[in-house]
Every structure is written in structure tokens, then in C-alpha cells.
Amino acid sequence: MRRRLVLTGVLALAFAASVSAEEAAKAPPPMEAYVPSDAVLYVHYQGLAQAATTFRQTDLYRILQEPEVQAFGAELSRFMDALLKEKAEDSPVQWADIQLIYNSEIAFALMDFRGTIPSVALIVRGGDKAGEMSKLLDRLIDKATGGHAEGVAEADIDGVSVKQVGPISVAQVSGDLVIASSQETMRRMLRAVSGKGASLLKNDRYAAAAKKFGAEKEFLTAFFNVERFTALMKDLKGADLEDFNQVWKVTGMTDVDYVRLAVAPDSPGVKVSFYVHAPMAKGLFRVFPTKPLDEKTMLAGVPQTADDFFIARCSPEELYDAISEMVALAGENEGFDAAIADFNQAAGFDLRKDLLGSLGDETTLRTIGPGFLFFPEFYVSVGVKDEKKLNDCLDKLVVVAGEAAGRAARPDHLAIETERINYKGLTIVALKFVGLPIPATPSYCISKGRMYIAATPQTLKKTLDQQASARPMVDSAAWAALRSHVAAKPSALVYSEFKTGFDQAYGGLATLLVQMTNGIPDVPKHSLATKFPTSMVVTPHVSGSLMALSHDGEGYLFESYGTFGGGTIPGNGGSLATTGMMAGFLLPALSKAREAARRASCMNNIRQIGLAMFQYAGDHDDKFPDSFGVLLHDGYLTTPKVFLCPSSRRVYNFPDKLLDFKNADVKDLDKALEPFLSYVRVSGIDHTADAETIILYEKDGAHTREGRNCFFNDGHVEWVWEDRFQLIRAEQKKRLAGEQ
């Protein structure tokens, strides 16, 4: 949006006039004074020049002051200067002109959108750069008119000289440049700034919203008058309007008065605040939790080593009611009610009253490991009010799910098996979907007034162990410092360690820069990319990020805080809490996506090797091969690349002369594999060993020292946590003579 705003400004400036000395000397009014009070949208950009002062105490500013970053900025300036000078004949704009624009204070306003041309305006503050702006405008006008700037029409509107080119109007007021999409829009702007018409400064809702933020520090603000927008939409005609009204009603936007966004420094980080004034709280907004968290209790179950977590206080019954209301607003309540009635009859209990009613209103979600394939290892924890009723409902639910699965396919092909596992005095219930090729075994455990849910019983065991032994986040001084920057009584919190994810993503950003610069014709390869700052100078300034949702009785305040304004995606300029709050707990997983993909590839590698060993054993009286080279030599594998884990730091370097595996010596093949070999085969066993025997495993530390991929004698591949792996191997070593 910022890029569009700047481009719009540059194009519109082509029709502007020079700033007179008399007008430039006048004290400029507040930017809001130019904007009529009933504007639909108002955006205020402080300008990077001013931001250098307001952001001085933040980690973001410290990053920008690093020598490597400064050097990159200088190289970027030289790069842009050279690039634009080559295009000088096509455009009068130079890099210095672009810098002038984005360093300037700018405001944008949308008043109406019902006409052929929307009623919009742009205000650019002249200040002490009025002279430079004047020269730029002269060049732009000259270029736009083909050297005939004197032919631009002028008009007098309320005593102000306005230059007019087509529908675009341009005027100078107290040294500020005002650009409007029509003469009527310009007239409204000039009346507002002269006091003859009401401006945003007299809009009570705008003033009330501003009080909820630190207005004196804000770098970027936006005010969306939803009530005005909704009223204007009612005047439109067309087939799409009915669909819009339906969506507007279902989401609850018909009951929203205004929305305000602010981005501001909050040492040592940056805060993004987003406030929705919705006193009626209907539709989608009913889904958002409103009751303050019992942080001390909930954070007691989150260890200080947590990379991320999401905690919220939201009653399942209230959530059910909110969804029911949205369905009713959409006119689909008849089918919804019928489906719930059918479910209640089949299950033998009432979904809302019995199942959801037995749960509490405190929910925790946290990832505790990279997991498998593309899914991180995570658990969900929910408070429990009535354990007996909950257990009864879950037992019946499993039966109903099994019957439904049987009806969906052949009864002998798909089924759900229940296994009850005793773990340290607790009962873990694991559900196995027989007949489906899914690697998950959904499991749950009810303990001490909480229900824990995970994708596998192994994850659940690790979760329960951490709950019992880890130092809680609530006692962390680092957490307390981060926590102090958001609302005192939030109803939901989302935390991300962020530093690790940023460091991993930074490398991808550097790669992208190389590709971009190398793809530009006539640009020396790596000329700009070689100056790109290393992660070693940036990452030390990166800290954890936090998002919070709170409710003040009239609306919802979303806050996102961190080095770059919160969120978990580096370089985004601040992840806005509008999308981050309810889905924010998934964002930490994105930073692990690359490693998860590599781990999935590794699992595929080890599976191929293991199955090749099985095939070999089938042809050799259940004996496994004496070396990996045998599998290549005898044709059970067709590529040596399968022996290199994608996360390994080792480099694949297999000699071409040995690619004719059949005619190569096995010893030479083994020697060639050794430098990049990522896997270890267990010697001294054959295919007649127990099914749970590990016959192939990954070398230490390829992904993380927390665990490794293992291939078992029953043919399955599993990520095994390091402590469990060592126990299994210790037991095996008692029976086996050794390993290679």
C-alpha cells in the first residue's frame, strides 16, 4: 500500500505548482485539519526523516545504525542513482527525488467512492524542503505537459489559487501541497482547513480513538470510518451489493463504528495497535474472547524454553453460540440445527450442554518440536470443569466417529481403534485410524483439571513431562519485560521467540536479493548482494514478539509488539493483529517450515534405504547387507544422493567414474559414500529381529540434537527424541555385538 501511495503522490505531483515564498512562510496546520470530518479513510505517514528521531531508542534503529547496514544503504543509493540515471530520458525523477517523497510527511484521505472517480486527496508537508519540492514539481510539470507548463489552467477556490489539469486539482496551503481528485473535493479540503467546514479535528470518534494510542509517537496511523462506509454502500446499486450486505452482516461489520491502526516505537521494540469499536459485538466478533486471562495459572504450564505459545480465555459454549449466531445471520440455521440434532441423537449426549459444558474457558496451544512432514509437533490444552462427564462424552464420541467412518467406506477397510496407555500414573487415550495412510495417532489425556490433546502419544508424553518439570514462563524476567508493553488485562496472548525463525528466514532473503540483482540486465553480478548485511549483525538485536487481544467493553484492541512490530515473519513491517490474533498461534510454525520440509525429505531418504535393505534381506535369507555400497552395486538403490540428509552440512561429492555401480568395486563405493553419509546401519542383526528394533538411524545433529529419524524393523520411519533413542539403543547394545 505504501508503494501505491508514493506512486500516486509522484504522479499527482506532476500537476502541481511551485511554492511561493509568502505561503511557505506560514505555519502549517495539522494534517487532520485538511480532511473533512466525514472522511471514510484517513492515513497519516510521518515520514522517515522524522522517524529517525522517534525510533532512536528501538532495536530497529540500532539495526539500521550497524556499519554493515549503513554500507548496504550507501550501496543501494549508488545502485538506484545509476539505475535511474540510465532512464533519465524516460523520467525526470531521480533517487534523491524519491528520497524526498518518502522522507516527507504525507496524509491520504478517501471521502467518497460512489462517483466515476473516487473523491480522494493527498497532502504532502512542505516544511524546510519546500524549495527542493518546488524544483521537483517544476520538472514534473514540464515533463507531464511536454514543456508547456504555462498552459496549465488555474482557478480561484475560496481565495486559494488552484491549478487544474483535467479532473486533478493542486493547491499550495501554508507551504503544504494539497492534491485532490476534483475541484469539489479540493473545495471541501480548503473549507475544512480554513475552518468553514468541520475537519477530522472535530470528529469525536476520531479523537476518542486517538486517545487509546500514543499519538505523539505514532509513525503511521489509519482511521477507517466504518459507519460512514456502510452508509455510502447502501446508496450503491448492483447485483454484488446484496452479497456485500450479507457478508457485512455475518461478520458483524454492520455494528462496527470505526477502526484505528497505529504503528509506533515503544523502546526497545515497535508496537502495532489496532482498535475495532464494536459495542454490539455481533457476528464474527462474538468469536473473539473478552474475559481477562488468569495469566499466572496458565503460564505456570508454559516453560521458559518455549519457542511460542497461544493462550486465551474463551468458553467453548460461548464459541458455539457465536458460531450459531453467524450461521443464523447467514440464513443457514435450519440446516445447522438439524445437523446438531442428528449428532446429539447419534452420540447420546447434548453437544453444547454435555461435551462443551464440561470444558473450562482457558485454552493453551504450543509447538514443542519441529514435528514431521510439514506439521510442527504441538499440543492443545483446555480447562476441564467435569472430568467424569467429559470422559463419558469422549467415549461415546469415539464410538460415533468409528461408526461414521465405517459408513463412509467399506466396514472392513476403515475403522478406529482405541488404545489406553498408562504413563506415569496417567491414562493416555490414543486413536488409531486403521486403513488410512496418515502418520498421526490423535491422543488425549485428562490430568489435574486440564485436557491435553496432541497428534501422537509420544508428543503427549513429552508434553506431560514438561508440565511436571520445566521452569514456568510466569517466573521469567525476560517475559515480564516483553509482557509490559501490551494491555494489562488481555483475553488472549500469542508469543514467539522469533529470533531463531528470523535468523533462518534471513538467509532466504539474502538469496532472493542475489536472484533479483543478478536478474537485472547490465548490473554486475553480486554488486549489491555482496553488501547485504549478515545475520550476525542483525539477529543480536532481534527479540521475542508478542500479540495481545483485550476488550474494553466497547471494542477490541489488538496489539502486536516486537523488533519489527510483532508477528513472526521477518521484514513484514509489523504483522497486524487483525489477522494475527486468532491465527497467530500458527505463525511460529512458518519459521520452521523449511526445516520441516528437509526433515520430510530425510524421512523419505531413510525409508528408501530401509526398504532396499528389506528387499536385499528377502533375497538373502533375512540377512541385511554388510554395507551401503552393496545396495548400489546390486541394484537395490539407483542413486547415492539418497544417503545425504538435506539438513546435513556435508556436501554431496560422488565421483562420476563410480556411477556405473554394477561394475564398481563395493569397497570403492563405500569409500566414496563415507564423506557425506548421513545414516548409520545397525550391524549384527537380521530381518528376524523384533519389529521395534532400530535397524537404521540418522547421525547425530543433522537437524537438531533433540532427536533423529529412525527406521524400524517393521518398516516404519519415526522421529525419535534423543532421550528415547539412547534408551532404545542401550537396550539393543546389550543384545548386539556392535555397530558399524
Measured CA to CA, the distance from residue 480 to residue 282 in angstroms comes to 34
- Least confident range of 72-81, 133-142, 159-168: 133-142
Question: Stretch 212-224: mean pLDDT, rounded?
Answer: 83
Handedness of CA 292, 296, 297, 301 (dihedral sign): positive
Whether the pLDDT of residue 407 is over 60: the answer is no
541-599 tens-digit pLDDT: 888 899 999 999 899 999 999 998 875 433 333 333 323 333 333 333 333 445 666 77
At 481, the pLDDT band (50, 70, 90 cuts) reads very high
Write out the H or E segment, with its range, that includes residue 321.
Answer: helix 316-329
322-355 tens-digit pLDDT: 889 888 888 888 888 998 998 899 889 999 999 9
One-letter amino acid for residue 274 of the chain: F
Measured CA to CA, the distance from residue 430 to residue 464 in angstroms comes to 15
* Selected residue with higher pLDDT from 152 and 607: 607
266-282 tens-digit pLDDT: 999 999 999 999 988 88
- Least confident range of 107-116, 254-263, 682-691: 682-691
CB-CB neighbours of 738 under 10 Å: 8
CA-closest candidate to residue 643, choices 627, 620, 657, 662: 627
Residue 268, preceding peptide bond in cis (omega within 30° of 0): yes
pLDDT of residue 652: 84
Helix (DSSP H) and strand (DSSP E) numbers for the chain: 25, 24
**Apex 81 CA angle, 76 and 86, nearest 5:** 130
Integer-rounded Cα Rg, in Å, for the chain is 32
Whether the pLDDT of residue 529 is over 70: the answer is no
At 239, the pLDDT band (50, 70, 90 cuts) reads low
Whether the pLDDT of residue 421 is over 70: the answer is yes
- Mean pLDDT of the residues in the chain: 81
pLDDT of residue 435: 63
pLDDT of residue 9: 38
Enter the pTM of the model: 0.70
Measured CA to CA, the distance from residue 220 to residue 261 in angstroms comes to 8
Question: Stretch 474-481: mean pLDDT, rounded?
Answer: 89
Percent of the chain with pLDDT over 90: 36
CB-CB neighbours of 270 under 10 Å: 26
- DSSP states of 26-42: SPPPPGGGGSBTT-SEE
pLDDT of residue 567: 56
611-669 tens-digit pLDDT: 999 999 999 999 999 999 999 999 999 889 999 988 787 888 899 899 999 999 999 99
Please give the grid coordinates belonging to residue 689: 529381529
Measured CA to CA, the distance from residue 579 to residue 305 in angstroms comes to 26
Where in 9-158 does DSSP place strands (E)? 41-45, 106-112, 119-124, 153-157
- CA 252 to chain CA centroid, nearest Å: 24
87-104 tens-digit pLDDT: 666 667 778 888 888 889
Q: Which stretch, 14-28, 123-137, 484-498, 572-586, has highest mean pLDDT?
A: 484-498
Question: Stretch 695-714: mean pLDDT, rounded?
Answer: 82
- Least confident range of 41-55, 111-125, 528-542, 602-616: 528-542
Measured CA to CA, the distance from residue 612 to residue 608 in angstroms comes to 6
* Selected residue with higher pLDDT from 291 and 538: 291
CA-to-CA separations, 658 to 4, 499, 642, 664, 667, in angstroms, rounded: 57, 44, 16, 6, 11
Longest dimension (CA), the chain: 102
Per the DSSP assignment, residues forming a β-bridge with 718 are 710
SS3 128: helix
> Are the C-beta atoms of residues 29 and 189 closer than 8 Å to each other?
no
pLDDT of residue 661: 92
Q: Which residue has the cell 539407483?
A: 638
